[in-house]
Amino acid sequence: MDERVTGSGLGSPNTAQSNTGVTPDFMVYGAEAVLPSDVAFGFPRVEHFDQSSADLARELKINCTEERRLASCLRTAKYLEAIR
């Protein structure tokens, strides 16, 4: 039996999840991931990074965590009701 995992079975870890609206990296680390290719090719979010505005944005996202959790619970409840 072939036990290799193909890429098609894996989701993109940098894609926001529909039920939470944030990426898995943000859920675990509290920040979005910066990929090596982003740095190598000089993506705008890397080139124009400002620590003070990043700190403010992170604080805002952290302060909105409870609201996001409640919105996710509502979406889950609506989904479960729809499949009954």
Q: Does residue 57 lie in a domain region?
A: yes
Which pLDDT tens digit goes with each residue over 58-73?
888 888 888 888 888 8
Q: Does residue 7 lie in a domain region?
A: no
The total number of structural domains in the chain stands at: 1
Task: Output the CA angle 13-81-11, nearest 5 degrees.
Answer: 10
Which pLDDT tens digit goes with each residue over 13-72?
666 666 667 777 777 777 777 778 888 888 887 788 888 988 898 888 888 888 888 888
Q: Does residue 77 lie in a domain region?
A: yes
Q: Does residue 74 lie in a domain region?
A: yes
What residue numbers bound the domain in which 33 lies?
Answer: 20-83
CA–CA gap between residue 77 and residue 84 (Å, rounded): 11
pTM: 0.42
**Are 26 and 32 within 8 A, CB to CB?**
yes
Q: Does residue 41 lie in a domain region?
A: yes
**Predicted confidence band of residue 9 (pLDDT cuts 50, 70, 90):** very low
